[in-house]
Amino acid sequence: MADSIVVLTEDALSPADVEHVLALHPDETLAYRVLVPADTNRPLLASVLDSLSLGELREAWERMTGKEPSGPEARATAAEQLDASVGAIRAAGRDATGVIVDDDPLPALQAAVDDGAREIVVATYPHLVEDTFHTDWASRAREALHVPVLHLYLGTSALG
C-alpha cells in the first residue's frame, strides 16, 4: 500500500469532503484506502453531550434510551457509507478501496501504516468531549502511530 493515504470516516464522504482530502496532495498520484467502523461504540455521556451540542435532540434521546442499531444494522450502514465514500473518491478520478473495521479503528490504522500508508486523514463530525480531551480517533492515531494525521470535520473545511 505504498504511496497511499488512509481515510478513516464515521460517515459517507460528500463531494466537498473528497475535494478537501484530495487537495492535500493535488499533484501526486496516490491510492486512497477508506476505513469505516461498523459501529462507533462511544461512551453514553460523551455521545449525548455531542448530540446536544449540535442540537440533535432526537439522537441524544435515542442514545439515552438505548435505541442503537443492532450489529447487522450497523454493518449495513457502514457498508453504505463505505460504498458512497469509495465511489466519491473514484468519481474524482483517484484510485480508492475500502473496508469496514471494528468499533476501535486503531488496530486497522496500525495495520495500514505497517503496510506502508504514509498519512492518515480522519473525517468525523465534531465530538465535544473527545475533541476537547484528545481522546478522539485523530488524537489517538497521532499518539500511537507516529505518521502525519489530519483531522477534518465532515461537511466543512474546518480542521479538528
- CA-CA distance, 8 to 36, in Å (whole number)? 6
Cβ pair 32, 4 in contact under 8 A: yes
Examine residue 129 and state whether it is found in any structural domain, yes or no: yes
Q: How many domains would you assign to the chain?
A: 1
User: For residue 99, is it within any domain?
Assistant: yes
pLDDT recorded at residue 77: 86
Structural domain of 132: 4-41+71-153
Across the chain, mean pLDDT equals: 83
In a domain, 33, yes or no: yes
Distance CA(125)–CA(54), nearest Å, equals 10
Q: What is the DSSP string of 59-77?
A: HHHHHHTT----HHHHHHH
Of 5, 34, 28, give the one whose Cα is nearest residue 117: 5
**CA dist 112 → 24, 47, 96, 134, 147 (Å):** 19, 28, 14, 22, 11
- pLDDT per residue over 35-94, tens digit each? 999 875 555 555 656 666 667 667 756 666 666 666 778 788 889 999 999 999 999 999
